[in-house]
Chain A
Amino acid sequence: RKEVEQDPGPFNVPEGATVAFNCTYSNSASQSFFWYRQDCRKEPKLLMSVYSSGNEDGRFTAQLNRASQYISLLIRDSKLSDSATYLCVVNVNTGNQFYFGTGTSLTVIP
């Protein structure tokens, strides 16, 4: 079983739509959780960390459910510039073991 599982999509949504991505992880000892964004032919970059209480950054909201071992990312009012692949990332041992999901592809259509 993979450490981190994501629906690869693709998700094709119109501008202004709200879209949600989900991710599950298998190791209950996981400590830190993140969403990274990767544009085509570029390196991954941190979008936001995911904290136990849930957190929001502008149009982006991340949630963590430790009991269900589940992470989500909600994007409101989608922009064309949100088109990218969104990677769910889990850190098992602080600083050492990062596991990436396969990524969810999002295309925002005019």
Chain B
Amino acid sequence: DTAVSQTPKYLVTQMGNDKSIKCEQNLGHDTMYWYKQDSKKFLKIMFSYNNKELIINETVPNRFSPKSPDKAHLNLHINSLELGDSAVYFCASSQIQSYNEQFFGPGTRLTVL
């Protein structure tokens, strides 16, 4: 009964490859997010989607493209992977309301060689 699930949990790939990370939430939330946590543990928002529409697109290279087929899913596709993309990527979801708790997925640890 995982609330927010991500696959894969680990991803090791070569520079230049294209990869996707999938995220699903079964909480009925209307907003989903992607965060990147780098080696210094800083958690930075990348994208926010509300009811399948992009709300926030922080300064992220356009090699990163989120896709939301429905409000329960938010996938992240990354083209032409670079060494600096190595990090842990967290998906999260919440309802849009004041003092809304964000629920995070377990994270995907991406290593680019």
Q: Which residues from chain A sit less than 8 Å from chain B, CB to CB?
A: 31-32, 34, 42-46, 49, 51, 85, 87, 91, 94-100, 102-103
Contacts and interface: CB of A to CB of B under 8 A. Distances in A.
Interface in B41-56: 41-45, 48, 50, 55-56
Range class of the B interface residue count: 20 to 34
B104 A95 contact: no
A98 B96 contact: no
A95 B99 contact: no
Contacts of A103: 41, 43
Contacts of A43: 90, 104-107
B102 interface: yes
Interface of B: 31, 33, 35, 40-45, 48, 50, 55-56, 90, 94-102, 104-107
B96 A95 contact: yes
Contacts of A98: 33, 45, 102
B90 A95 contact: no
B100 A95 contact: yes
Contact of B98 (A87, A94, A100): A94
Nearest to B45: A98
Please classify the interface of chain A as helix (H, G, I), strand (E, B), loop, or mixed, using the class held by over half of its residues: strand
Contact of A44 (B94, B95, B104): B104
A85 B48 contact: no
Contacts of A96: 31, 48, 50, 55-56, 96
Contacts of B55: 96
B102 A97 contact: no
Contact of A102 (B40, B45, B90, B94): B40
